[in-house]
Structure 1
Amino acid sequence: MSNNRRPAYLPIAIIAAVIIALTAVVIMWFKPDNNQTSSAQTMASVDDSEYNESISTELATGQVMEATLPQNQSAFVTGLERLPRSLKGTQIDGEIIIDENKKLVVTEGLRRLFDYFLSALGEEDETVIIARVESYIRHHTPEPAASQAVAIFNKYVAYLKALPEIEKRYGNLQLQATKSGELDLNAVAQQQQDVASLRQQYFDKATITAFFGAADDYDDYSVEMVRINQNQQMSDAQKQAARQDYVSRLPDNATKTNIQQQANLGELMARTEQMKARGATPEALYDMRRELVGAPAAERLAQVDLEDANFDQRFNQYETQKQRLLSQSADQSQAKIQIEQLEQQLFDDAERKRLSGYAALQEMKAQ
C-alpha cells in the first residue's frame, strides 16, 4: 500500500473549482513532481504525498480518538513501532536534511515528514504522535539537527492548532461569495495576510519559504486567475492574454512549469470541445493536443477518445435495447432481469457502476 497525502493550507481550494473544471484523468498526467535535489546530506526521502485535510481542525478541537495503545505503552525508540493501521505498509514521506556541520536544513520535505505522521490523528492520540515523531527524528538524526527539527515540529503543531480559527473566520464569507457566482477577493487577500501573520509568530522567514512557498505560489496563481475571470470589462481574448502574461512573469522554477501545464489544460479542454463540435478529425485533435501538452499526453488523450467512443457506442446500444424491453414486455420484472443480463453482456463491472451517472449526464446535455 502506498501513502498518498497532499498538504492542505488555506481553504483556497474552493478557488480552483471556481476557475477550472478539469477531468481527473487529465490531471493525473500532469501531477507535479516534488522530487528535490540537495548537496546536503539526505537522512531520509520518499515520494510525493497527500496530507489529511482535517489535521489542523482535529488538533485545534482535540477531536481525536483515544490512542490505539495505552499511554504507558507509547514509548518509542525508532518512532516506527506499532504504527497505526493507516500507516502500516506505507512509505515514509518526507526528508531530514543536514549540512556538513550537522545542522538542520529546513525543506518542504521536512514538513511532509511531519504531515505523514500527523495524518494518523483519529487513530492515535496527539500525545502519542508527538512522542512518535520526536523519537523518529532523534533516532535518525544527529545533534544539533535533531533538536532543531523537534523544535520546529512543536511549533508546526501549535501553528496547525491556531489555523482553524482563521479558516472559520473567513469560511462562511467565501462560501456565500462562491454561491453568488463570484469570490470575494478582498476577503481572500485578508485571509492570506492573516495566515502570513500567524506563520510569522511561529517560524522564521526561511522556514516559512521552505514549508509554504510552493503552495503560496499556487494560491497566488489561483487568486489571479479568479480575478481575471471575474473581470467583466475584459473580453475572452483579453482574459486569455492576461492569463498567459501572468504565467510568463513567474520565476522559472518547477512551480512555474506545473502552472504552465495546468494553464494549458484549460485551453486544451476548450479547444477540444470546439473542435469536436466542428467534427474535427482525430489527426487534427492530436496535432492540437501535441502543441499544447506534448506528444505523450496527446497519445494518451487519443486513446481516451477511442475508449470513450467505444463506450458511447455500447451505451447507445444498451439504451435502445433497454427502452425496447421496457416498452414491449408485459412482465416488468422479467424485463428488469433481461436488462441486467444486457448490462453484463455489454459492460464490465467498473463500467456498470458508471451507467446511471452517465445516463443522467446525457439527459442534462440533451436539455
Structure 2
Amino acid sequence: MTSNKRRFPYGLLIILALVIGVIAVIVWFKPDPSAAEPMTAAVSAADNDSGSSMTAMSDPGKGDEALAPQTSPFTTGLESLPRSLRGTDVDGEIIIDENKQLVVTEGLRRLFDYFLSALGEEDEATIYARVESYIRHHTPEPAASQAVAIFNQYVAYLKAIPDIEKRYGNLQLQATKSGQLDLNAVSQQRQDVAQLRQQFFAQETIVAFFSSEEEYDDYSMEMVRINQNQQLSEAQKQAVRQDYISRMPDNAIKANIEQQANLGELMARTQEMKAKGASPEALYNMRRELVGEAAATRLAQVDQQDANFDQRFQQLQSQKQKVLAQTADKAQAQTQIIQLEKQLFDDAERKRLAGYAALKKNALE
C-alpha cells in the first residue's frame, strides 16, 4: 500500500500562495514530522489493537466538553472507505504516555486531516463517526476521549478560519497588484489566527499542531521582507537570507530549508558552468561541495546518460534527413524512420523523443 499524506483544505496564510519563486518552493519540501519524543507507550495510526469506549473527556487544560459517543455504523473506522482513501495507509499517529494519557503531536493533526480530506465524498456526520470509531478502536481510555475532544475542537477551528481569510483576502489582492506583499496585513492576519487558536485549544495542542507551521511562516515572511527591500543588492539579499537561515534552530525544518537553498544554488551554478563549457570534473566538485558525494555521483551519471541520449538523438536526426531526402514515398520514409528510432532507442526512451525535439528546437530559436 502506498503512503498517503493529506491535508484538509483549511486556509492558513495567503502568503504561501502569493510570494514569489524563492518562497513558493516551501510547500514542496515542507517536512512531515511524524516522530514524537520517546514515550513509554505509543499507539500508531496503523496499530490494530483496540481500546475501550468511555465517557468523552476534554482537551487537557481546557474546560470544553467533547461530544458523548454516539451510535456508530463503524467499528474500526476503516470500513467502506471513500474512493480517495482506498489503497492508502492511514497517515498520522496517536501517542499515549505510561498512564494512558494522550500525548498531543503533529501526527494527531495529520490523522484528523487524513479523514477530513474525504469531505465532499462523505458528509460531516459520517466522517465524524469514522474518526471517533477509529480513535476509540485503536486507543485506550482516557487518551481516546481526549483525542475525540481535540478532534471536535479542531473541526470547529477549521470552520472559523475562513472568516479571518475573508477579512484579509481583498487587502492581500490589492497589495499584490504592485508586486509587493503587504507584510503588515499578513502580520495582523497571523495575530488573528493565533488568537483564534487560543480560543479552541490548550497551549500544548497549539504547540504540537502549529509550531512547525509557524516556523515556516516566519521564514516565509522574512524572505519576502528581504526580497522587497529595495536598499539591498541581490548579493546583499542573498547574504541576509543565508544569515537568517544560519540563526534558525537546528532542527528538521532548518535542514530542509538549507537543502532546498542548496538545490536552488545547485541548479543555477550547474546551468552557468555548463554554459561556459565546464568539465565533468569541475561540475562534480561543485556538486559535491553543495549536496555531497553521493548526490554528485548520481548527477554525474545523469549527465553521462543525457549526453549519450543526445548523441543518439543527433544521429537519428542526421539519418532521418537522409531518409527524407532519398525516399519519395512518405509512408515508406516514415516506416524507415520508425525502424531507426527502434534501433537507437528503447521503448521508454522513444517516448521522450517528441518532447526532447521540441526542447532542442526552442533552444535554437
- Percent identical residues: 71
Check if 1:100 corresponds to 2:103. no
Alignment of 1:266-345 (within 5 A): 266-322=264-320, 330=328, 332=330, 335=333, 338-345=336-343
Work out whether residues 166 and 194 of structure 1, in 8 Å CA contact, stay in contact via their aligned partners in 2: yes
Residue 73 of structure 2 aligns to a residue in which SS?
Answer: coil
What corresponds to 2:107 in structure 1? 109
User: Matches of 1:126 and 1:158 in 2, distance apart?
Assistant: 12
Q: Which amino acid aligns with 2:3?
A: N
Q: Does 1:19 align with 2:26?
A: no
Instruction: Give CA deviations for 1:85-104 in whole Å, capped at 9, x if unaligned.
Output: 33333222111111222221
User: Per-residue deviation at 1:32?
Assistant: 4.0
The secondary structure found in structure 2 opposite 1:78 is coil
1:318: Cα distance to partner?
4.1
Q: Name the structure 2 match of 1:194.
A: 192
AA matched with 2:143: A
Larger deviation: 9-18 or 196-205?
A: 9-18
Equivalent position to 1:236, from 223, 234, 238 = 234
Structure 2: state its 5+ residue gaps.
47-70
Report deviation, 1:143.
Answer: 1.9
- Where in structure 2 are the equivalents of 1:1-367 lying within 5 Å? 1-7=1-7, 9-14=12-17, 18-19=21-22, 32=31, 34-40=33-39, 41-45=41-45, 75-167=73-165, 170=168, 181-322=179-320, 330=328, 332=330, 335=333, 338-367=336-365
Change in Cα spacing, 1:346 to 1:200, as seen in structure 2 (3 Å) is farther
Residue deviations 1:214-264, cap 9 Å, x none? 122222222322322333322222112101110111112221122111122
Deviates more, 1:243-252 or 1:326-335: 326-335
SS at match of 1:43: strand
What are the Cα deviations for residues 13-44 of structure 1, in whole angstroms up to 9, with x where unaligned?
4356521687xxxx8xx784624142322111
User: Structure 1 pair 175/309, CA: closer, same or farther in 2 (3 Å)?
Assistant: farther
Q: Is the 8 A contact 2:245 2:258 kept in 1?
A: yes
2 CA distance for matches of 1:202 and 1:115? Answer: 17
**Partner Cα separation in structure 2 for residue 366 and residue 184 of structure 1:** 41
Q: Which of 225-234 and 1-10 deviates more? A: 1-10
Q: Which moved more, 1:327-336 or 1:283-292?
A: 327-336
Q: Which has the larger radius of gyration?
A: 2
Contact 1:228–1:243 (Cα < 8 Å) also in 2: yes
Q: When the two structures are aligned, how many residues end up with a matched partner?
A: 336
Contact 1:3 1:87 survives alignment (8 Å): no
Q: 1:21 to 1:152 in 2, by over 3 A?
A: closer
TM norm structure 2: 0.78
Residues of 1 paired with 2:168 and 2:353: CA distance?
39
Distance 2:109 2:178 in 1: 36
- 2:30 touches 2:253 (CA, 8 Å); kept in 1? no
Alpha-carbon distance in 1 for matches of 2:3, 2:140: 27
Letter in 1 for 2:21: V
Query: Contact conserved, 2:100 with 2:143, CA < 8 A, in 1?
Result: yes
Deviations along 1:31-68, one digit per CA (max 9) or x if unpaired, are 8462414232211156xxxxxxxxxxxxxxxxxxxxxx
Aligned AA (1:282): P
SS in structure 1 opposite 2:89? coil
Distance of aligned partners of 1:277 and 1:145 in 2 relative to their CA distance in 1, 3 Å threshold: same
Which amino acid counterpart does residue 10 of structure 1 have in structure 2?
Answer: L
Amino acid at match of 1:213: S
Residues 172-201 of structure 1 show CA distances to partners (whole Å, capped at 9, x for unaligned) of: 665676676554434433443333333233
Say whether the 8 Å CA contact 2:94–2:108 is kept in structure 1.
yes
TM-score by structure 1 length?
0.78
1:146-175 per-residue CA deviation (whole Å, 9 max, x = no partner) reads: 111111111212222333444455556656
One-letter identity of the residue aligned with 1:243: R
**Equivalent residue of 1:81, what SS?**
coil
* CA RMSD, Structure 1 to Structure 2 (Å): 3.3
Amino acid of the structure 1 residue aligned with 2:260: Q
Q: What SS is found at the alignment partner of 2:87?
A: coil
Does the 8 Å contact 2:33/2:106 carry over to 1? no
Distance verdict in 2 for CA 1:347–1:186, change over 3 Å: farther
